Each structure stands twice: as structure tokens, then as C-alpha cells.
Chain A
Amino acid sequence: MEPTAKTARGLWRSVVQTGALWGAGAIFLALVGLVEAVSHRQIVAGVLSLAYALLLLAGLGAGIQVSRRWAGTAAWQRIVGGALAGALVGVAVGLLVVVGRSVNLRIMLINASPALYEILSFGLGVGGVPLMVLAQTGAGAIGAATPLLPPVFRRPVMAGLGTAFVIGLFQDLVQLMLQSGVRASLRSLLFTGDGLALHGAVLLFVFAAGVNVLRARYRAPASRWAVGLSPQRRQVLRWITLGAVFAAILILPWVAGLFISQVLVLVGLYTLMGLGLNLEVGFAGLLDLGFVAFFAIGAYTVGLLTTTGPLAVAHLAWWTVVPIATVVSLIAGVFFGLPILRIRGDYLAIATLGFGEIIRLLVLSDFLRPWLGGSQGVLGIPKPVLVGLEFRGPQQLIYLTVAASALVAFVAARLRDSRLGRAWMAVREDEDVAEALGINTVNVKLLAYGIGGAFAGVSGAIFAVMLGSVFPHSFNVLISINVLALIIVGGMGSLPGVMVGSLALVGLPELLREFSDFRFLVYGAVLIVMMQLRPEGLWPTAVARRELHDEAQAPAVPGHAVELAGAKEGDG
């Protein structure tokens, strides 16, 4: 891009910079405790653990980046540059080992333990440092070579590596699912006792790469076939797909087992909350950091109205309380929205954060203890029963969560396409203009708070029966941040995005338990990185994609792009 980048000095500087940056990244990962925490998770048994995979990713990343920056130079030069950057990463990691073994860093950095140095030096002491440098050099070279491959080769290779990596990462879960019959023999083919076997990894690689090649070959004809179908046929196809999905959901908890069901219930609850917050942030543009309050209100309503404990207000059935909880959180949402109607933009975020905290502190206080139980919470919430079926564990609750999420997603989709949804989007884009167009912004905003709150209330109602108790500690600001992060990762305003986001941000950390301590570290990094690289999210709405990448799509009308940028800057 810049002309200086192509001069020899510029090239070398980019190698040093990139290597140092990724090296610092690798050191950070080591010192923050991530490397040691994941060192026991084998990806390929006895060959590669997640710790080394993470460390080598630093070298790989450095290689890719250098190779990209050197675009236009000869292939061997790019590979050598990448290898050098990788070597620098290795040197940085080695430096940590050498320094750490002579100076006690542990006074300050709790993770700078001998165990960490063991991992970083392959258990060989200082003698392992050259090995690390060598490995990182290799990773850098491979990284630099990847952008050089033609896509025809790169895609299958990536797909193969990715599949083997993911299966290896979740080997314990996959093995758990492959217990009997044909599945058991598949398991013995791929896995050894303690993880994915090397030949299993190779098999998976070949399989996934093959599927990728076939898919690339037949994708166009298949979609042509689908487009060519008559509407009636397509309708039938859609019903078949729906039926298949329904059947899959019905049998899912029994195939997946207790643990995965539990995780999926959590994912479902966050999806519900995400759909609610998505309505406020994604549709109406009202950034709400106190969203957890509605979740708490739903949960407490269910708790107080169904509990068998001393705090009970009534002893109703869960099914009768859910509509009540929904309505209560809806009203709470409207009341919450009323005073802050005139606050805009980032002030709104802080005001809602304040509101959420006020509610949590009040619930926690001794002042309201006689009614809400203070820090002890509300205990003894009975499980719901439907025609003799008791929703006693996650494997039953999952049906409830899926049904609720589907219903809420349907409502959200219909709302989005309704007049109200259009009004929300108008308010999101420009409140003054929306008002000038005759939209009653007061009602529209209050409805966003109310309906968003109601969705979270449903989630809270299920959460209460899932735990069988409600504590104020479950409703801190981290939940709001969590929900916000997931809708941003999924794509603001996008309904499938909420699902994707909660699978990625709630499901994954639950499955990789070692990560649970680093969850918010990763969230923070994800939010920062997403805002720069993919502000529209993983599964964006078409509008967001167009808007955030308009410079790429509308080069023909330069004046238009400038105007948009100016409008964005000036807004607020």
C-alpha cells in the first residue's frame, strides 16, 4: 500500500515489527495463564496439545502477516520473511524462558511458574529454546506459504485442518457421543484412549478436504437445481427441512447427553436474552447495559409466585406464572424506559448501566430482604409439570428453551418486518428525522424497552426453574455485557446472528472448561477485534453489511460515500 513498504528497509522493518508484536502476544498468552491452562487438552494425542497449538498460532500469524505485507515480491522471499518473523516469535518466547529461569518473576506475575517454563521449553530446560525457535520458524514459513497457495488447494486444506482441529479439541465430547454399535467402531477407528489418534486426524483431514472439493464441484449445480424447482416443490422441500430439524431437536438431548443438554439450555437462555437486547440495540439502536434487570425481574417473579419457601406470595403453577412474569417484565421495561426516553447515544448506555445496578443493589440489600430474600435469594422453586411430564433436568428443559426461543424468534422476526419494526429502524438511524416523519418516537422506544424486557423476562422465568432458586448474584452487570457481546458477535439486528453469537460465546466456553477463567478476557478481545475487522458481525443483516462496507461497494459514486461518512461523524 505505502510505497515505502516495498523498499528493503521497509520490508525488514515489517518483519521485525510483526515478529515482535506476535512474540509479545505469545508471551502475554503465556503469562496470563492461558497456555498452562490448556496444556492438558490434547488435539492429537501425544503429538499436539492446545497449548502448543496456541503458541504456534503466533508464529503462523506472524508469517501470514509478513507474507501479506510483502505481496508483490517473489514467493521464496515471502516465505523467508515469514520464517524470520516466526523465528523472532520463537526468540521472544525463548527469552521469557531464559529470563524467567534466572529471575523470579512470580512475585508479580503469578503464572510465571516453573511448570510454564517446562511447557515453553518442551520440558528440556534452556536446551528447549532453540527447538521452540525452530518450531516457530517453521510455523512462520508455513504461515507465509498459505497466502501463496491457489484457492483451489487452500480451501480443502483449511477445511481439513479445521475439521481435524475441532474434532481433536472436543474429543472428549465426541467420544462421549460415540458409545455403542457402529458409532463405537468409528470411535475406535479415530481415537486412542486419551484423544484423537494421529491416523484418526489424517483420516478426518482427508475426509473433510474431500467433502470440500466435492462441495466446491457440485455446489453450483445443486443451487441451480433448487432455484429451478417450482414453488410447490420448494414448499415441500422447506417442510421436509423443518420436519428434519424438529426431529433432530426431539432426539438431540438423548443423543448429546446430560452435559451438552445443560450447555444447550444455557445457550437457549442467552439466545432469548439476546433476542430481547437485539430488539433494543439492533433494531431500535438503544444501547442498554442494564438489560440483566429484566432477566432478574422475570426470575424473581417466577420465584416469588411459585416457591414453596417462606417468601412465597402465591403458589401458582409455573405455566400460569410465565405469562405473568412476561407481563411484569414488559411493564418494568416501559417504566425503565420512561425516564430515560430523552437520553441518547452513549449517555443512554451509562444511564441504563446505572439502572441495572440500582435494581441489583436493591435486591441484594437488607432493606428489601423481608420480601426478596436479600443475598440468600428465593429458594425451593418447583419444576414445571406438563401432562405428567416433569421438566426436571436439562434434558427436559431443553425442549422448553427451544420452544420459547423459536416462539420469541418468530415474534421478533414478525416485529422486525412490521410497521413497528420499520419505525424502530428509523429511530435507530436518526431519531430527529424519524420524529419529523411522523413516527411517535416515545411509543416506539417504550415498546422496544417493553418487548425487549419481556423476552428477557421469559428467559429469567426458565432460568429460575433451571436452578430451582434465584440469587441476586446471578444478575450482575457481566450478564449484560455477555449478552451485548453475543449480539455484536452474531451481528446487530440479525436474528440468526443471536443464535450464532450465543453458541460461540456461551456454548464454546462451557464446552472448553479450561477457558472459563479467560472468558471475559476473550470477550474483551473479541469485541475490540470485531469492531475493527467485522463490525457487522458473523451473520450480519444485509443492510448492516452494505452500510459498514459501503466504500467497497459504491466506488462509482464517491460523493455519496463521503456524504455517508460525514453524516456518521456528525450524528449525535
Chain B
Amino acid sequence: MAATLVAARIQRNWLQRLSVIDIFLWAFRVAVLAAVVVGTFRTLYSGRYAGEVWIDFVVFGVSQGSVYALIALGYTMVYGILRMINFAHGDIFMCGAYTAYYAASALYRAGVFNRQPLLSLAIILAVAITASTSVALLVERVAYRPLRRAPRLVPLISAIGASFFIEYAVRGLYGSGFQAYPEFEVFKGKWNFFGIGILRTQAVVIAATVILMGLLYLFVMRTKTGTAMRAVSEDREVAALMGINVDRVIVITFAVGAAAAGAAGVLYALVFKQVHFFMGFYPGIKAFTAAVLGGIGNIPGAMLGGLFLGLFESVGPILVLDGLGIVAPYQLKDVIAFTMLVMVLIFRPSGILGERLAGKKA
């Protein structure tokens, strides 16, 4: 009797307390959904864009999304193990791209760049991966490891500090201007796949991402180290009891994530053809969005989330915003990404594939 009374009271309180916010959240959801539906409908109805335009946007979105996915891996793996947002990860991506720029321009000056494009690409990738991995390990050692047992906001603030430190250290060391990446002659123009013309750089980016993702997936799923990583992310104490060197696993996780980010940096530079000390900030946040979207701590989720985000970001402005009659919709492409970020965090913090981990990690 008493128990049911209490239960009823709790229920009523819960209703009283949450109804206003629930209504607000539902209104928010409906408004966004309505905007998307109306915008899409009007764009498609007007028929302003031909099929080829859509294909271009989709391909661009996929290549952009694969870069996000590669960066997102670092977020997701570190979060899976340390429950910490590595805020400096975007800047680790930048370090790779920026340092590799010097390798690329040296190769270009030596004339190797266009004579041996694959070799050059391999060298550039190696330089980028080395640079970003060393920066990541340094950051882990200096800014994160001493704070492993600190209250939760402390490492995040330290990570924010590390992020700005890296950005402005690179600005001081390498300069504050934009640096133009040399272009591969072979990758100019389009390739035809089944009658669809695809920009060669984008095809290369997509192919490289698929290969890297495959390797990474095998590493995490099939090797002993990968098993150890998964064990630590499942339960750190128990993993330590099983004889896994947790510190080493954490370092390897940082290194692998940073290597993926470094490779992503080169691919990003292939598409956008320039580097800058602040270039890591927005891709970093977007990759984090991708990681959350896919379900943080979940590696296939990061890949999926990256693709989704890239697609939305590239197709969204003309599909939705243009239909709503917004001028210059492409200026608002980041707004779409950030809105997705906020919406995912509000409505589904466990992400698309993250159900299993939701309770413990989010």
C-alpha cells in the first residue's frame, strides 16, 4: 500500500517535473524535422539541381566523411578506454598535416613528387603519422597521464589547454599563414566508375580510408594488443588483474588514434590543398560529433558516424536549407554539423551503434 503510494508520488513528481521540458524537447525535435522535410520537399519539387550535381555532392560528402571517420577513431578509442574527450585530437590531426607539408614541398622541389606519386604519398603519410603520433604521446605523457585519477573536469580542462598550446606552438614554429600543398598531377581530373565521373583526389581519399580502416579493424579485432585494448576499455581494473599493462595499452591507443589522425591530415590536405595552424579545430569537433553519432567507444560506429556527418554536411545545405529559401546556404554547412552534434547529444547520446555501452559510458 505504502509502496504503491510512494511509487505513485514518484511518478507524479516525475511527470510534473519533466513535462515542460519534454514538451520543449518534442517541439524542438518536431521543428527540426519539419524544417528538414519541408526544405527537402521544396528543393526536390523545384528540380533546380540535376542528378549529376547530387552525385558530386554525395561523393564529396563521402570523402569528407571518411576523413572525419579517421579522426573520429582517435576520439572513440581514447574515450572507450579513458572516458575522456581528447580535446587536443583535432590539433594532433593538424600537426600531422602541417609537418607533412614540409615533406611534400621538399619532395616537390626535388622533383620526386610527380615522378613517383605513390612513393611520395607513402613518404608524406609516414611523416604525418610520425609527427602526429609523437605529439600525441607527448601530450598524453605531459597533460593526461598525471591526471588519471583526478575529478572528471580536470583532464578535460587540461586537454583544452593542450589543444591551444599545440595550435599556438605550431603557429609560432611554422608561422601563421596558410601553406599551399603541392598537387599531384596524377590526381587531377576525374576517373570514370560505371559511367559516373568522380574527382580523382576524392577517390584516392575514399580508397585510402577504406584500406586504413580495414587495417585498423583487423588490428583491434585480431591482434593480441587489440584484444588487450578492448579488455581495458571493457573494465580497466579487471584487465589489469589479467596481467595487461594498462599504461602501455593506453599509450598504444593514443598512438594508433594519432596515426589515423595523421593519415587523415594528409588526405584532408589532398582535398583542400592547404594547411593552417587552426585547421584542426573544426574537423576535430566534427569528428567528435561523428564519434558520438556512431556511438562513442565503438569503432565501426565512428566509421558510420563519419560517413553520415560528411553526407549531411555536404548534401544538407542545398537539400534542406536551399529549399527553405535561405540565401547562401553553404555558409551554414557548419551550422548543420553543429546542430547534428547538439541533437545527438540531447536525444541519443549513445549514438547509432552504442546501445550496449550507453549506461556505463555516457
Residues of A at the B interface (CB closer than 8 Å) are 28, 31-34, 107-111, 285, 287, 289, 338-343, 345-347, 349-351, 353-355, 357-358, 361-362, 364-367, 440, 442, 477, 481, 484-485, 488, 517-521, 523-528, 531-532, 535, 565, 568-569, 571-572
Q: Contact at A341–B174, with CB atoms within 8 Å?
A: no
| 10 A–B pairs (Cβ distance < 8 Å), ordered by A | A345-B153, A346-B85, A350-B85, A355-B338, A367-B326, A521-B169, A524-B161, A524-B168, A531-B143, A531-B161
A351-B157 in contact given A367-B326, A528-B165 (Cβ < 8 Å): no
1/0 per position for B256-287, CB-CB distance to A under 8 A?
Answer: 00000000000000000000000001000100
Q: Which residues of A contact B169 (CB under 8 A)?
A: 28, 32, 521
Q: Considering the complex, which residues of chain B in the window 127-178 have a beta carbon less than 8 Å from any beta carbon of chain A? A: 142-143, 146-147, 149-158, 160-169, 171-175
Q: Which residues of A contact B150 (CB under 8 A)?
A: 531, 535, 568
Q: How far is the CA of A367 from the CA of B332 in the complex (A)?
A: 9
Q: How far is the CA of A156 from the CA of B154 in the complex (A)?
A: 35
Instruction: Name the CB-closest residue of B to A492.
Output: B153
A484-B160 in contact given A346-B85, A366-B331, A568-B150 (Cβ < 8 Å): yes
Instruction: Name the CB-closest residue of B to A571.
Output: B152
Q: Contact at A345–B152, with CB atoms within 8 Å?
A: yes
Residues of B at the A interface (CB closer than 8 Å) are 17-18, 21, 24-25, 28, 83-85, 102, 142-143, 146-147, 149-158, 160-169, 171-175, 281, 285, 288-289, 292, 326-328, 331-332, 334-335, 338-339, 341-342, 345-346, 349, 362
Q: How far is the CB of B27 from the nearest CB of chain A, in Å?
A: 10
Q: Contact at B327–A107, with CB atoms within 8 Å?
A: no
Q: Contact at B24–A339, with CB atoms within 8 Å?
A: yes
Q: How far is the CA of A523 from the CA of B143 in the complex (A)?
A: 14
Q: Contact at B342–A34, with CB atoms within 8 Å?
A: no
Instruction: Name the CB-closest residue of B to A29.
Output: B172
Instruction: Name the CB-closest residue of B to A532.
Output: B146
Q: Contact at B345–A347, with CB atoms within 8 Å?
A: yes
Q: Contact at A358–B85, with CB atoms within 8 Å?
A: no
Q: Which residues of A contact B160 (CB under 8 A)?
A: 289, 481, 484, 527
Q: Contact at A111–B173, with CB atoms within 8 Å?
A: yes
Instruction: Name the CB-closest residue of A to B101.
Output: A108
A361-B349 in contact given A108-B174, A346-B84 (Cβ < 8 Å): no
Q: Which residues of B contact A341 (CB under 8 A)?
A: 21
A528-B158 in contact given A339-B346, A354-B342 (Cβ < 8 Å): yes
Q: Which residues of A contact B334 (CB under 8 A)?
A: 357, 361
**Could you count the A-B residue pairs with CB atoms below 8 Å apart for me: how many are there?**
172
Q: Which residues of A contact B156 (CB under 8 A)?
A: 287, 346, 349
Q: Contact at A521–B172, with CB atoms within 8 Å?
A: yes
Q: Which residues of A contact B342 (CB under 8 A)?
A: 339-340, 351, 354-355, 358
Instruction: Name the CB-closest residue of A to B152.
Output: A572
Q: Which residues of A contact B17 (CB under 8 A)?
A: 440, 442
Q: Which residues of B contact A351 (CB under 8 A)?
A: 341-342, 345-346
Q: How far is the CA of A571 from the CA of B150 in the complex (A)?
A: 11
Q: Contact at A108–B102, with CB atoms within 8 Å?
A: yes
Give 11 new A-B contacts, CB below 8 A, not counting A518-B168, A521-B168, A571-B151: A350-B288, A350-B345, A351-B341, A361-B334, A518-B172, A524-B166, A525-B165, A527-B158, A527-B164, A531-B161, A572-B83
Instruction: Name the CB-closest residue of A to B91.
Output: A524
Q: Which residues of A contact B158 (CB under 8 A)?
A: 527-528, 531-532
Q: Contact at A531–B102, with CB atoms within 8 Å?
A: no
Q: Which residues of A contact B349 (CB under 8 A)?
A: 343, 347
Q: Which residues of B contact A520 (CB under 8 A)?
A: 164-165, 167-168
Q: How far is the CB of B173 from the nearest CB of chain A, in Å?
A: 5
Q: How far is the CB of A363 from the nearest CB of chain B, in Å?
A: 11
Q: How far is the CA of A569 from the CA of B83 in the complex (A)?
A: 10
Q: Contact at B288–A365, with CB atoms within 8 Å?
A: no
Q: Contact at A365–B332, with CB atoms within 8 Å?
A: yes
Q: Contact at B28–A339, with CB atoms within 8 Å?
A: yes
Q: How far is the CA of A314 from the CA of B146 in the complex (A)?
A: 55
Contact of A110 among B84, B166, B175, B338 (CB under 8 A): B175
Instruction: Name the CB-closest residue of B to A478.
Output: B164
Q: Contact at B341–A109, with CB atoms within 8 Å?
A: no
A354-B285 in contact given A531-B154, A532-B146 (Cβ < 8 Å): yes
A366-B346 in contact given A339-B25, A518-B168, A528-B165 (Cβ < 8 Å): no
Q: How far is the CB of B174 from the nearest CB of chain A, in Å?
A: 7
Q: Contact at B161–A110, with CB atoms within 8 Å?
A: no
Instruction: Name the CB-closest residue of B to A533.
Output: B146
Instruction: Name the CB-closest residue of A to B339.
Output: A358
Q: How far is the CB of A39 from the nearest CB of chain B, in Å?
A: 15
Q: How far is the CB of B162 from the nearest CB of chain A, in Å?
A: 6
Q: Contact at B331–A367, with CB atoms within 8 Å?
A: yes
Q: Which residues of B contact A361 (CB under 8 A)?
A: 331-332, 334-335, 338
Q: Contact at A531–B172, with CB atoms within 8 Å?
A: no
Q: Which residues of A contact B21 (CB under 8 A)?
A: 338, 341, 442
Q: How far is the CA of A349 from the CA of B334 in the complex (A)?
A: 18
Q: How far is the CB of A425 from the nearest CB of chain B, in Å?
A: 14
Contact of A346 among B102, B142, B152, B339 (CB under 8 A): B152
Q: Contact at A342–B335, with CB atoms within 8 Å?
A: no
Q: How far is the CA of A33 from the CA of B176 in the complex (A)?
A: 12
Q: Which of A28, A353, A531 has the most chain B CB within a 10 Å cutoff?
A: A531
Q: Contact at A350–B172, with CB atoms within 8 Å?
A: no
Q: How far is the CA of A346 from the CA of B142 in the complex (A)?
A: 20
Contact of A365 among B24, B155, B174, B331 (CB under 8 A): B331
Q: Which residues of B contact A345 (CB under 8 A)?
A: 152-153
Instruction: Name the CB-closest residue of A to B176.
Output: A517
Q: Which residues of B contact A366 (CB under 8 A)?
A: 327-328, 331
Q: Which residues of A contact B18 (CB under 8 A)?
A: 442
A528-B162 in contact given A107-B102, A367-B331, A521-B168 (Cβ < 8 Å): yes
Closest 3 A/B residue pairs (Cβ):
A527-B161, A524-B165, A32-B172
Q: How far is the CB of B167 from the nearest CB of chain A, in Å?
A: 7
Instruction: Name the CB-closest residue of B to A369.
Output: B327
